[in-house]
Every structure is written in C-alpha cells, then in structure tokens.
A = this chain, B = another copy of it.
Amino acid sequence: MIKKIINKTITDIKGVYATGIHCGLKFKKKDLAFIYVPEAAASAGVFTRNKFCASCVTFTKKVLKKNVLKAVIMNSGNANAGTGELGTKNTKHMAKITADMLGINASEVGVASTGIIGKQLPMDVLEAGIKKVLANPYVVDGSAAAEAILTTDTCLKQAFFETKIDGKRVVVAGISKGSGMLAPNMATTLTYLVTNANLEQKFLQAALADAINDTYNMTSVDTDTSTNDMALLISTKEDGVVIKTNKDKDVFLALLTEACTDLCKMIATDGEGATKLIEVNVVGAANGTDARKIAMNVVDSPLVKTAIHGEDPNWGRVIAAAGKSPEVKLNPDKFDLYFGDVQILAKGMPVAYDDFALKEQLKNNKVFITLELNLGSATAKAWGCDLTKGYIDINTKYN
C-alpha cells in the first residue's frame, strides 16, 4: 500500500541535504537553493525538448550521462536561456563554485535556472549567494529549497510517499515548481525527486521517464513549453532497501508515479491565475496515443477552460476539443461524456441529465470530465486548470 505522508519533504530522507536563501536575483523572495546527496548511488533526468533549451539543460544532461549527480544548484528569477556563449560559461561557473564549496567534482553537479529568458545572470550576486548558501551544506530544510525554486507559483509543491517492499520502507519525495509556460513535452517544470531505494542506474532512468510520461507530460497550464524544464531523481541507496525483482520494480514505479501525480495536481491547481483544477479522463480509446491526444486536447482548450471558469456546462466545447485532431480514432456515435458523475452524452446523443446536478459539478474547485470512447481499452488522464483574468494579469506584466 502506498501512503502519502503530509508535512514531510525531501530532506526527511536520510542523507539528503537542501535549503534555499534570497541572494538577490529577485527583489525579496528566496531565489537560490541546493540539493546535496553526498552518498548518491544513482541518478536520472528528463529534460525539455525545446530547441532553445538553456545551457543548464545541456550541461546537466551531460553530467547525468557520465556521472552520478551528487548536488544540484538551482536559481530562480533568471532562466539564463537565450544568453549565448556567456550564458554557457556562467552555467559552468555555477557548477564549479558549487563543486568547490562541496569538495566534489563539477561534473557531479547539476545546474538549474528558471525565470525570465534572454537576460544574463548577474554572476557577482550569484557567486556570493552560492558561497553563502553552501557555507554549511548539511542543512535539512527541503521546504526552503522548494520555496527558492518558485517563480509565479503561489504555493510550495512538496510530496512524500512511502510503501513497503520486502518489509523495508521505501520512500520517494519530491519538490517541484511550475505555474505558467507549462506544457507537456518532457519534464514541463523543475522537479527534484529523491528516493532511499537502491536501484540500478538504468532502471532509475527508465522508471523516471515512465512516471514523467504519465504525469508531467499530461499536465498543461498554457501549452507553452519552457526552455529550462528538467526532472531529476537521485537515489541515496539506504542500507538494505534493494529493489531487484520485476515485481518490486513495478511497486517502485507505482510509488514514483504516485508522487509525480500528486505534484502535478498541485502544479495544475496553482496554474497562473487558476481557480479550478481540471482532470480529464479518457477511457475506452483504441490506443494510448489517441487517449493521450484527446485528453490533452480537452485540457488545453481555451474555450473549455473559460467555460469551466464561468461554471458554464457548455459541453459542446468539450466535444469540439476532443474531435479536433483528425488523425485520432473517435466515433461520435459511440461517444459517452460525463462531468463528474453526471452523464451528458450516451452514444453521442444528449441524455436527460439533471441540469442542477450538472451545474453543481462545475461549482467545485476540482472539475472531472470523463470521455468514454467505447472503441478499445486504452486510457489516459490529463491535468490542467481554468483560464482566468488572473492569467492575463500575470502575463501582461511579467517583465
């Protein structure tokens, strides 16, 4: 059984150190954090596929290919993207200072930046900050790190999930940020996960990719893809917590997916300007690709998002969004549609639903839409949020 433990964070796993401070990239808020796992046994990463990916993405990818990641240095307030050669140099310098402070190699350090694109990092400010925050690296304050990676987020995103495998307690914990420029194409946010399980590198990478695929890659706020997204997973290799059999690996993957799902729901709920979480559930699709595409089409539709914001059960917009991709298999005459548990369409025709009950579904701060295609057995879930004037406010005045 997988249990969610509230009020715990990444540093509640033994051997994981992290904190965050204000160094001066932002006006007042925390803007610099690290995670340090001195005895890291294995590490994995999933990255944005944006062609204009930042140098920190390229750099951290390389680290993961060669070494186990022992530390990550992370700043918010400036993405260090679209900054050319100087930007690349600055990323390397961030890794170097971090490594020097920790007495490890720069090729064991991941770098992550988030914030405005196209501005050079003020390296004097950042260098002083890194030296300050790492003066004592053995701090266990994961929440401060979770705070320091935020941008337009309005709340911390932390998850801590545990289960038992072979009588041993296995834990996955994570912190995440993300509120806007948030679309499914790899990691979609900055996410740092830690586990105490002893797993081989190759499986760790495969498990992370799998979990991200069903969670972060199915979460969208505004269809815009960040240049800086990454999700990293580090294993601390606690004594005795060994996962080797396929059955145990399945349990671990379920644990990891559960943690990611929880973080993704927090992200969608805290989407820029959002007042409602939207969960779209596609069932009975001919294949997984179609199920995912349809779920994302609905969750990404500005007209669905605004209707839900207006608590208007305008289900015509849901079917228009579901049908927009000509390449997917979808038979309008077999299609069932539900808002929450209120059925609206049966085999493509409106049923005599209770108007009051339908409207009640939309008054909740979580809106569930289920599309039953009756074509096969594939399913997909996607998470998003409503589109509000708050989103316009935040993004017309971001700079």
A residues near B, CB below 8 A? Answer: 49-53, 79, 81-82, 84-85, 116-118, 180-181, 183, 185, 222-227, 300-303, 306-307, 309-310, 312-317, 319-326, 328, 330, 332, 345, 348-350, 387-389, 391-392, 395-399
Contact = CB atoms under 8 A, between A and B. Distances in A.
A350 B82 contact: yes
13 contacts: A49-B326, A52-B319, A85-B349, A117-B315, A117-B319, A117-B320, A118-B350, A185-B324, A185-B326, A224-B317, A225-B323, A302-B391, A312-B398
Contact of A309 (B84, B222, B301, B396): B396
B398 A330 contact: no
A112 to B, nearest CB: 16
Contacts of A319: 52, 82, 117-118, 227
A307 B395 contact: yes
A185 B320 CA distance: 12
A397 B303 CA distance: 11
Nearest to A326: B49
A294 to B, nearest CB: 9
A397 B222 CA distance: 21
B316 A79 contact: yes
A81 B316 contact: yes
Nearest to A224: B303
A328 B185 CA distance: 14
A188 to B, nearest CB: 11
A314 B398 contact: yes
A53 B306 CA distance: 22
Contacts of A51: 322-326, 328, 330, 332
A328 B224 CA distance: 16
Given A118-B316, A183-B324, A312-B399, 19 more contacts: A51-B326, A51-B330, A81-B316, A82-B350, A116-B314, A118-B314, A185-B324, A185-B326, A222-B303, A223-B223, A223-B301, A224-B302, A224-B324, A227-B319, A306-B391, A306-B395, A309-B392, A312-B397, A389-B392
A326 B84 CA distance: 20
A273 B116 CA distance: 27
Given A223-B223, A223-B302, A387-B392, A323 B52 contact: yes
A332 B85 CA distance: 12
A84 B348 contact: yes
A302 B398 CA distance: 13
A300 B225 CA distance: 12
Contacts of A398: 307, 310, 312, 314
Contacts of A180: 303
Contacts of A321: 224-225
A307 B226 CA distance: 15
Contacts of A181: 303, 317, 320
The 8 closest A-B pairs by CB, nearest first: A117-B316, A310-B396, A51-B323, A306-B395, A52-B323, A49-B326, A225-B324, A118-B316
A325 B222 CA distance: 15
A6 to B, nearest CB: 33
Contacts of A397: 310, 312
Contacts of A185: 324, 326
A330 B315 CA distance: 39
A118 B389 contact: no
Contact of A320 (B52, B322, B392): B52
A66 B313 CA distance: 39
Contact of A392 (B81, B306, B325, B326): B306
Contact of A302 (B222, B309, B313): B222
